[in-house]
Structure 1
Amino acid sequence: MRAARYYGRKDIRIDDLPEPEVGPGMVGIDVAWCGICGTDLHEYLEGPIFCPTPDTPHPISGETSPVTLGHEFSGVVYAVGDGVDDVEVGQHVVVEPYIIGEGVDTGPDSRDYHLSENMNFIGLAGGGGGLGEKISVKRRWVHPISNEIPLDEAALIEPLSVGYHAVERSGAKAGDVALVGGAGPIGLLTAAVLKALGVTVVVSELSTLRREKAVEAGVADYALDPRETDVAEEVRKLTNGKGADVAFECTSVQVVLDTLMDALRPTGVLVVVSIWGKRADFDMHKLVMKEIDLRGTIAYVNSHPATIALVESGKIDLKPFITGKIGLEGLVEEGFDTLINRTETAVKILVSPSGEGL
Structure 2
Amino acid sequence: MKAARFHGRGDIRIEDIPEPLVAPGTVGIDVAWCGICGTDLHEFMEGPIFIPPCGHPHPISGESAPITMGHEFSGVVYAVGEGVDDIDVGQHVVVEPYIVADDVPTGPGDRYHLSRDMNFIGLGGRGGGLSEKIAVQRRWVHPISKAIPLDQAALIEPLSVGHHAFTRSGAKAGDVALVGGAGPIGLLLSAILKAKGLTVIVTELSARRKEKARESGVADYILDPSEVDVVARAMEITGGKGVDVAFECSSVNKVLDALVAAVRPAGVVVIVSIWSHPATVNVHSVVMKELDLRGTIAYCNDHQETIRLVEEGKIDLAPFITQRIQLEDLVSEGFETLIHNNESAVKIIVQPRLR
- TM bin, normalised by shorter chain, reads over 0.9
Tell me the residue number matched to 2:276. 277
Amino acid at match of 2:57: P
Q: Is the 8 A contact 1:54 1:66 kept in 2?
A: yes
Distance 1:35 1:124 in 2: 13
Tell me the residue number matched to 1:162. 161
RMSD (CA atoms):
1.0
Matches for 1:328-339 after TM superposition, within 5 Å: 328-339=327-338
Distance 1:45 1:329 in 2: 19
Tell me the residue number matched to 1:326. 325
The question of 1:41 aligning with 2:46 is answered no
Tell me the residue number matched to 2:120. 121
Distance 1:139 1:47 in 2: 29
Deviation of residue 201 (structure 1)?
Answer: 0.2
Amino acid at match of 1:55: G
Matches for 1:83-162 after TM superposition, within 5 Å: 83-107=83-107, 109-162=108-161
Deviation of residue 330 (structure 1)?
Answer: 1.2
Q: Percent identity of the aligned residues?
A: 69
Amino acid at match of 1:285: H
Q: Which runs of 4+ in 1 moved over 2 A?
A: none
Q: Is the 8 A contact 1:207 1:343 kept in 2?
A: no
Distance 2:215 2:97 in 1: 30
**Is the partner of 2:49 in helix, strand or coil?**
coil
Deviation of residue 245 (structure 1)?
Answer: 0.6
Q: Is the 8 A contact 2:2 2:354 kept in 1?
A: no
Tell me the residue number matched to 1:226. 225
Matches for 1:127-276 after TM superposition, within 5 Å: 127-276=126-275
CA deviation digits over 1:240-285, x for unaligned, max 9? 1111110001111111111111111111100011111122112211
Deviation of residue 340 (structure 1)?
Answer: 2.0
Deviation of residue 175 (structure 1)?
Answer: 1.0
Structure 1, 342-351 or 158-167: larger mean CA deviation: 342-351
- How many residue pairs are counted as aligned between the two chains? 355
Deviation of residue 355 (structure 1)?
Answer: 4.2
**Is the partner of 1:188 in helix, strand or coil?**
helix
Structure 1, 156-165 or 285-294: larger mean CA deviation: 285-294
Structure 1, 342-351 or 21-30: larger mean CA deviation: 342-351
Amino acid at match of 2:104: V
Q: Is the 8 A contact 2:322 2:346 kept in 1?
A: yes
Amino acid at match of 1:133: E
**Is the partner of 1:29 in helix, strand or coil?**
strand
Q: Is the 8 A contact 1:34 1:74 kept in 2?
A: yes
Amino acid at match of 1:30: D
CA deviation digits over 1:152-202, x for unaligned, max 9? 000000000000010011011111110001111110110001000110001
CA deviation digits over 1:215-243, x for unaligned, max 9? 22111001111121211111111111111
Distance 1:45 1:343 in 2: 14
Deviation of residue 127 (structure 1)?
Answer: 0.5
Deviation of residue 10 (structure 1)?
Answer: 1.1
Deviation of residue 329 (structure 1)?
Answer: 1.4
Unaligned runs of 5+ residues in structure 1 are none
Distance 1:332 1:48 in 2: 17
**Is the partner of 1:94 in helix, strand or coil?**
strand
Amino acid at match of 2:269: L
Amino acid at match of 1:353: P
Unaligned runs of 5+ residues in structure 2 are none
TM-score between both structures, scaled by the size of structure 1: 0.97
